[in-house]
Structure 1
Amino acid sequence: MSAVPAGGRTDAEPGAAAGLDARVVVRRGGFALDAALQVPAGTVVALMGPSGAGKSTLLGVLAGLTGFDDGHVRLNGRALDASPACRTPPASRGVVLLGQDPRLFPHLSARDNVAFGLRVHGATKGAAADGAVGWLRRVGLEGLGGRRPAQLSGGQQQRVALARALATAPAAILLDEPLTSLDTETAADVRALLHQQLAATGTTAVVATHDAVDAVALASRLVVLEGGQVTQSGPVREVLASPATRFAAAVAGLNRVEGRTDAASWRAGNLVLPVSAGARHPSPAAVFRPSDVRVMDGPPRGAGEWAARIVRLEQTPAGVRVRTADPDVAVDVAADRAAGLAPGDPITLRVDPADVRFVETGGERP
């Protein structure tokens, strides 16, 4: 099997760092994106944020498909975009963008779809055919090369798209919610394949996702994008352990409650927790799991107990999640324990102060 590098000339600046380095500013009506992103060579970074945060816009600029108003994009020291007026065309960037839609040619077989990318980058017909067969084997589709996309499942089509993307040895690959349209089992299989092949090829990658499982399984670093701004970045474990925002906390499956401190206590709405002597929390936020909160009978009686109001009930695989106000806290309870609860009802909750962590800075900021 042979593959033709897609990166073209490097034109790297002396001493320039390998990997992806970008700062992107986009202004579109009422939306503004101003984000910096650094991805060391061979590293996988997860990009997470709510819908409308600017994830797809950022990836589009990196791929050369979307215009921008200010900033730069460099890859392995090569200036892809030095300014909005000095840009490298998408086909010459060495960057592949793979989204929810595999975008396979419907009239070509799986083998010919993969071979097409190799041919575009200069491989001979024979080398491209051999390379396609080898890559289909690597993604678990050996023997299916003669099938057209319509004869393949959604997961198989994504595998073909991944093989086509990696076969050209791109300098970087951008994945925009590639697993969203797949069922849970198929997504897990393709996720495992992505992890295996990105590690095996050492490809620099950015994975935009809504799923914390993608971040944990695929990436070593996590960047959180909200409202067009990077609100937190750092190693995946650290960001999920100390979320800087409510969105990041929700991704991590945690409550993050902003409060205030005095000499002896921390307070948020009706929730009051003791503060250890000498402890300092200049930007106090309490972090704890929904499963650590208990529903109590009767009025609050001691430390860590408070009166709240039910906002809504949500189904979870293990039972019911009760969303409350005063302050905004999620509580996981068994389905039978939730019987009789309704939005608007008062409720008494308790969290053991030992189960609460106070985070000061919320993690590494870019």
Structure 2
Amino acid sequence: MSGADLVVSIDQAVPPLQVEHRFAGGRTTAVVGPNGAGKSTMLRVIAGLLRSDGPSRISLGDEVFRDRHTFVPPHRRGVALLSQEARLFPHLTVAENVAFAPSSQRLPRAEVGNRVSRWLAAAEVSELADRKPDELSGGQAQRVAIARAMAAEPRILLLDEPFRALDVDVASRLRALLRGLLVDHGRTTIMVTHDPVDALGLAEDIVVLDRGRVVESGSTRDVLTNPRSRFSASLSGLNLFVGRMAETGAVVDEFGNQVTGTAGDDAPDLTGGTPAAATFSPRAVAVYLDAPQGSPRTTLRATVRDVVPRGDHAVVSTDVGGQVVAAEVTWAAVADLGLVTGIEVVLVVKASEVRVSAVADR
């Protein structure tokens, strides 16, 4: 059952933030943008941790959290905020940290115990229940922080780059954990991230902020594979090719174009038909006028959209079945191949440099 929509209208001068957006109930929305765009500030206003200095309105369904006459304090909003720092209470054990929110809600002791057991198990940290935070690794502490946030059973879950301080392997495992926890459609989740893999793997929708304003929004798949704003086009500088897993291990789009790669640690259970994305650098893409000799694992027929400078190289943006795939080539190659807008080309992608991840498709 889907939750109510979260409607956000924020107008403030310092720091500058003018946002009007409706976050769909029961869905996960990724918020991306350059540093200083206002992403974290928006989360703090929604949570009630920051009062905007201008006329703002925050509402969840028929319930108003903030307007000209109303200000509901953070602890009464049903909001949980999880950041890149676990921020566990150092004097409490893991179990006591997870029990903090439900205990504060004055629930019966049995219900508190049930929630603690359930979320410790879900976060795969039951064996750490009696440890103190200073006895945990960074990944373990963040798992406990996730369990603590979920034990509050919030109506709104706010995630502020929760994997940023973790190494790649730990982040991948936590991403897989969180994907399983976000299937509950009764909760609205907003996740600030700088990583397109997080956005594609966890969020159905995306909002692009720049200089305190929404410059692009829509389904994560549409925005990241066919971007209209400068920032979303340059997000992490990666190509994102979205489709479904084939039994061969390739990601295949609706037109039969396919990219072969290796599944990451966050996507160990991808099977045929599962929504998936292949991510790879433009440097992993070679451009030809005709299909090369041999049997490259990934060959894509494409149409050149534009050619722009990047340092001493050129980035050739192409259209592959409605998705943008970029290649970084030398200017000599641009001249030799006669690469101009509208020309038909063949792309070859190095399979060894392609990472395959799951895509949110709820």
TM-score by length of structure 1 reads 0.68
Q: How does 1:66-85 map to 2 (within 5 A)?
A: 66-68=50-52, 69-83=54-68
C-alpha separation in 2, matches of 1:223 and 1:198:
18
Query: Displacement of 1:71 after TM fit?
Result: 2.1
8 A contact 1:45–1:221 mirrored in 2: yes
Query: Displacement of 1:153 after TM fit?
Result: 1.4
CA separation of 1:123 and 1:228: change in aligned 2, threshold 3 A: same
Q: How does 1:116-155 map to 2 (within 5 A)?
A: 116-155=100-139
In structure 2, what is the equivalent of residue 20 of structure 1?
6
Query: Displacement of 1:304 after TM fit?
Result: 6.9
Query: Displacement of 1:211 after TM fit?
Result: 0.5
Whichever residue aligns with residue 59 of structure 1, its letter is L
Aligned-pair Cα RMSD in Å: 3.1
1:59 is aligned to 2:43: yes
8 A contact 1:53–1:228 mirrored in 2: yes
Whichever residue aligns with residue 119 of structure 1, its letter is S
CA separation of 1:309 and 1:65: change in aligned 2, threshold 3 A: closer
8 A contact 1:98–1:178 mirrored in 2: yes
8 A contact 2:64–2:70 mirrored in 1: no
CA separation of 1:179 and 1:307: change in aligned 2, threshold 3 A: closer
Q: Which runs of 5+ in 1 are unaligned?
A: 1-16, 256-288, 297-302, 313-321, 339-345, 357-366
Secondary structure, counterpart of 1:205 in structure 2: strand
8 A contact 2:288–2:345 mirrored in 1: no
Secondary structure, counterpart of 2:128 in structure 1: coil
8 A contact 1:254–1:290 mirrored in 2: no
8 A contact 2:205–2:218 mirrored in 1: yes
8 A contact 1:53–1:227 mirrored in 2: yes
Query: Displacement of 1:323 after TM fit?
Result: 5.6
C-alpha separation in 1, matches of 2:231 and 2:307:
24
Secondary structure, counterpart of 2:223 in structure 1: helix
In structure 1, what is the equivalent of residue 162 of structure 2?
178
Q: How does 1:109-258 map to 2 (within 5 A)?
A: 109-200=93-184, 202-251=186-235, 253=238
1:102 is aligned to 2:86: yes
C-alpha separation in 1, matches of 2:121 and 2:157:
20
Query: Displacement of 1:103 after TM fit?
Result: 1.1
8 A contact 2:58–2:67 mirrored in 1: yes
8 A contact 1:306–1:348 mirrored in 2: no
Secondary structure, counterpart of 1:199 in structure 2: coil
C-alpha separation in 1, matches of 2:285 and 2:169:
29
CA separation of 1:118 and 1:242: change in aligned 2, threshold 3 A: same
What per-residue deviation string (whole Å, max 9, x for no partner) do you get for residues 129-154 of structure 1? 33212210111112210111111111
8 A contact 2:285–2:326 mirrored in 1: no
Q: How does 1:262-273 map to 2 (within 5 A)?
A: none
C-alpha separation in 2, matches of 1:307 and 1:82:
48
Query: Displacement of 1:82 after TM fit?
Result: 1.6
8 A contact 1:19–1:77 mirrored in 2: no
Secondary structure, counterpart of 1:143 in structure 2: helix
Query: Displacement of 1:93 after TM fit?
Result: 0.7
C-alpha separation in 2, matches of 1:19 and 1:309:
42
8 A contact 1:323–1:330 mirrored in 2: no
Q: Which runs of 5+ in 2 are unaligned?
A: 241-281, 290-302, 317-324, 347-362
Query: Displacement of 1:354 after TM fit?
Result: 3.1
Secondary structure, counterpart of 1:58 in structure 2: helix
CA separation of 1:249 and 1:89: change in aligned 2, threshold 3 A: same
Identical columns (%)? 35
8 A contact 2:287–2:345 mirrored in 1: no
In structure 2, what is the equivalent of residue 311 of structure 1?
311
Query: Displacement of 1:193 after TM fit?
Result: 1.1
C-alpha separation in 1, matches of 2:306 and 2:64:
56
C-alpha separation in 1, matches of 2:222 and 2:18:
24
CA separation of 1:144 and 1:47: change in aligned 2, threshold 3 A: same
Whichever residue aligns with residue 81 of structure 1, its letter is R
CA separation of 1:168 and 1:291: change in aligned 2, threshold 3 A: same
Residues matched between the structures, number:
276
In structure 2, what is the equivalent of residue 262 of structure 1?
none
Whichever residue aligns with residue 82 of structure 1, its letter is D
Greater C-alpha radius of gyration: 1
Q: How does 1:272-311 map to 2 (within 5 A)?
A: 294=287, 311=311
Secondary structure, counterpart of 1:135 in structure 2: helix
TM-score by length of structure 2 reads 0.69
Query: Displacement of 1:194 after TM fit?
Result: 1.0
